[in-house]
Amino acid sequence: VILITGHSDEKVAVEAIRAGVSDYIEKQSLSTEGLDRAITNSLEKQKLQVEIQRQREELQKSNRDLIRKNDQIRNFYHTISHELKTPLTSALEFISLTLEGQAGPVTATQKEYLEIAKDSCRQIGAHVNDLLDMTRLETGKLSVSPHPAQFEPVLLRILPMLLHQATEAELNLRCDIQPDLPNVMIDEEKIIRVLSNLVNNAVKFTRAGGEIKVSAGLLEVPAPCVEVCVRDTGRGIVAEELENIFDPLFQVRKSDTVTMGGLGLGLSICKEIVRQHGGEIRVESEWKKGSAFFFTLPVAGPEERMEILVVDDDELTQDAMKRVLEREGYRATTVEGGKKALQTLENFTPNLVLLDMHMPEMNGPRTLKEIKKYWPHLPVVIMTSNPRSELVEEALSLSPVTLLAKPCKRQQLLDTVRGILEPPEVHRKEV
């Protein structure tokens, strides 16, 4: 549309253009040449608008196709990862049973081969977990559940595995934990994943005879946090690779043409886990002088409450203990049996477990044995109305635990809980 008007008011021209007019000509300046030019310009503008609209629609369609294909690829990775995980779990279980001699005597050579097969299965399992976590990360489903707890027991929990990795690679592993560290906000299982990945990388890039050091200390500024460091004396990382070290699928190169292996997902997953904890992760490295990876965990504020799991088949006992503990500022979760306790522990790790000995289906000692198998550093208080029973003796023979006689007075319960969760001092650990 070309507007031809006898008005020379600028406001009229602006309103006309806003209404969709392609050109504006005043009658007093109208000429054949000017009209031809206006018509030509209007037709060109129309063609351009049609082309822009066509390209916009094509781009939108391409974006929809890309999103659909990405979803298909992501779903494929997620499905194939789950399908791989099930047979891998079975393979590891049967290899372990064979190593234990369940299928008959095992020779030294057979044991060596089985250990190699077991390690290979574990490596595949780690890659499968990386793929699963990557799909969760991309869909926003990789989440953490931090709660107030000590960092030291988390490190002690995986220390045997880290020592095994270092020893096999002929490396020296040292741990240095600052005494009296405050509670941090932590999802134990996720931070174990971060520590395991960082130490595994350090082992991969450090030659035999080198050293790996894991340390943790308190930083007061800019906000109170515990800083964890994994330092190695390995080959280091070249400057141009440091910028992308936490990017998904990025792999550090062994040479100009060869990468160091792996999927390149571990550090990007570590970064997301630390970020969701409210912390930061960074790296310092110099070529041929080793690397140091640092990550922080925020100190738990005074409003954060300690978590206690109460395991008892009696609902009245559950309710009474929950009330006493929560009035004192603790957060209490109650379950009525050993099986439900183990299912609950798979989703979150409390600071303490109060465990009744006399329960149907799965009694106290059986539950305690499973807890100490998978959560060896989780403190447990066993509760019983008969301290001299065989169940109590069995439980005490399984693991060092605290005994609390039932029925217990309110102050006895609180003194026992405080004695475990609020120790007077934490001693320095050196390995």
Does one domain contain both 330 and 232? no
Q: Which of 125, 142, 159 is the last residue of a domain?
A: 142
Does one domain contain both 292 and 180? yes
Distances (CA, A) of 220 to 187, 216, 255, 298: 22, 13, 40, 10
Other Cβ atoms within 10 Å of 220 Cβ, number: 8
Q: What pLDDT shows up at residue 285?
A: 92
Does one domain contain both 59 and 15? no
d(CA 179, CA 420): 17
pTM of the model: 0.53
Q: Which of 298, 315, 339 is the last residue of a domain?
A: 298
Does one domain contain both 57 and 197? no
Residue 430: what are its φ and ψ, rounded to 5°? Answer: -125, 130
Q: Are 277 and 186 in contact (CB under 8 A)?
A: yes
Does one domain contain both 178 and 233? yes
- CATH number, residue 115: 1.10.287
Where the chain has pLDDT below 70, the residues are 1-3, 5-10, 12-13, 17, 20, 22-24, 26-30, 72-82, 136-141, 249-265, 302-304, 422-431
Q: Tell me the residue range of the domain where 251 lies.
A: 150-298
Does one domain contain both 186 and 222? yes
Does one domain contain both 158 and 292? yes
Does one domain contain both 248 and 352? no
Distances (CA, A) of 374 to 6, 155, 370: 89, 14, 6
Does one domain contain both 248 and 274? yes
Does one domain contain both 56 and 72? yes
- CATH number, residue 320: 3.40.50.2300
Q: What pLDDT shows up at residue 428?
A: 34
What total number of domains does the chain contain? Answer: 4
Does one domain contain both 188 and 56? no
- CATH number, residue 290: 3.30.565.10
Q: What pLDDT shows up at residue 308?
A: 93
Does one domain contain both 183 and 244? yes
Q: Which of 89, 115, 142 is the last residue of a domain?
A: 142
Q: What pLDDT shows up at residue 396?
A: 85
User: How many helical (H) and strand (E) elements, i.e. helices and strands, does the chain have?
Assistant: 12, 15
